[in-house]
Amino acid sequence: MKAVILAGGEAIRLRPLTCNTAKIMIPVLNQPLLEHLVNYLKKHNIVDIVLTLGKLPDQVQSYLGDGSKFGVRVTYSVEDSPMGTAGAVKNAERFLDEPFVVFNGDIFTDIDLTAMMNLHREKKASASIALTPVEDPTIYGVVETDAENRVKHFIEKPRREEVTTNMINAGIYILEPSILSYIAPNVFSMFERDVFPLLLESGEAIYGYPCEAYWIDMGTPEKYLRLNHDLLQRYPHPALSIDGEGLGKDIKFEDEGTVHSLAQIAGPAIIGEGCFIDKNSVIRGPVVLGARCQIEEGAMVEGVVLWQNCKVGKGAKLRNCVIASNCYIGEESEVLDGCVLGDNVGIGEGNKLSQGIRIWPDKSIEPDAISF
């Protein structure tokens, strides 16, 4: 099958991380989300990919190219304005003449796509929808099925009293090309709201594929941070079990860097190429340091994702936060739980940021400007 990766949204919920970076290029364990998705599809023998793009398409195209260096074949469908999940697929209709997989571009999962494709063929379904259980289904699209997993009802973002199941639409579909005739051209359209209910009314065979596999919608900074933590803690890559001298296990150095003998690093952690970690500093996993980050003397970094070229000053403290590229954290400053800094942000000496503060790119906070 071919796969369509939907990456045309503006990713407003992920701001300020997506102000300068396309959502699908956000780094996960120092590797763009896009590359993780491509590898996932290849694992299930899908090598023909249609990528729908909106914001910052050149950023994606220059990285992935025609896909050959990643072992896939890529076609691009660029939207002038957001088209919605179904509208984006309709916009790529000229590339879709056989059954195909649709994959929301902010989903990270290890759902068994091969088994789902087999079930789709076995049931002779017009559409198959991956289903996953969640604690709070009221913020998602609930899908009711019968004993044979044939879909009976869709309830989009139900009220608490309307909830009859915790199985939600996981944002992964297998569709027959005939489904495209149900989607109006050149208009904003959503599968969940505009297409799937219409298919039910028309008697089309829609089946759910329930599974308990890992699944997360990384559409907010909080969930993005959780995803990085999850992958380090629950799904460690074999390369993370390297014994660095005096550093213990579960620490991966992606390339050469400098670590002072009096620095303390406790994994799981990924440390990008060219990083500098000074004496008496503490790195406490789960942590991801992007390339060329500097952690100065006495600084503490715990549960943090740093992108590239960040500098953490002497005695500074970072905990459970996300910091994008080219940021500076001044001496004795603190950036704590839930804070998110966009690119090129500077924090002056002695400032304390907490309570989930978000700072947009190219902003600076001078000493004592914010303190809690």
DSSP string, 183-249: S-TTS---IIIIIHHHHHHTT--EEEEE--S-EEE--SHHHHHHHHHHHHHTS--GGGG--BTTTBS
What does the DSSP 8-state code read for residue 254? S
* Residue appearing with tokens 């829609």: 206
- Band the pLDDT of 369: cuts 50, 70, 90: very low
Which backbone phi and psi does 70 adopt, to 5 degrees? -105, 5
pLDDT tens-digit series, residues 172-218: 999 999 999 999 999 999 998 899 989 999 999 999 999 989 999 88
What is the number of other CB atoms lying within 10 angstroms of the CB of residue 147?
A: 5
Beta bridge partners of 364: 346
Using CB atoms within 10 A of its CB, is residue 302 exposed (0-12), middle (13-18) or buried (19+)? Answer: middle
Cα gap 334→315, rounded to integer Å: 9
Quick one: average pLDDT of 305-330? 96
Quick one: average pLDDT of 141-158? 84
Kindly tell me if the per-residue pLDDT of 230 is higher than 80: yes
Q: Among residues 125, 84, 80, which one has the least CA distance to residue 101? A: 125
pTM over 0.85: yes
Kindly tell me if the per-residue pLDDT of 298 is higher than 90: yes
Which backbone phi and psi does 190 adopt, to 5 degrees? -115, 135
Kindly tell me if the per-residue pLDDT of 255 is higher than 80: yes
Type and span of the H or E element at 295:
strand 294-295
Quick one: average pLDDT of 17-46? 93
- Band the pLDDT of 368: cuts 50, 70, 90: very low
Cα gap 238→252, rounded to integer Å: 10
Distances in Å between the Cα of 291 and the Cα atoms of 107, 224, 251 are 25, 19, 15
- Contacts of residue 324, Cβ cutoff 8 Å, sequence gap at least 6: 16, 17, 20, 21, 307, 341, 342, 343, 345, 361
CA 308 to chain centre: 18
- Which of 120-124, 158-162, 270-274 is the least confident region? 158-162
| Per-residue pLDDT at 257 | 87
Cα gap 333→351, rounded to integer Å: 5
Q: Are 38 and 112 in contact (CB under 8 A)?
A: no
CA 39 to chain centre: 14
First to last CA, the chain: 54
CA 303 to chain centre: 17
Cα gap 285→231, rounded to integer Å: 12
Tell how many helices (H) and how many strands (E) occur in the chain: 6, 33
Radius of gyration of the chain (CA): 22
Cα gap 256→275, rounded to integer Å: 8
3-class DSSP state for residue 14? helix
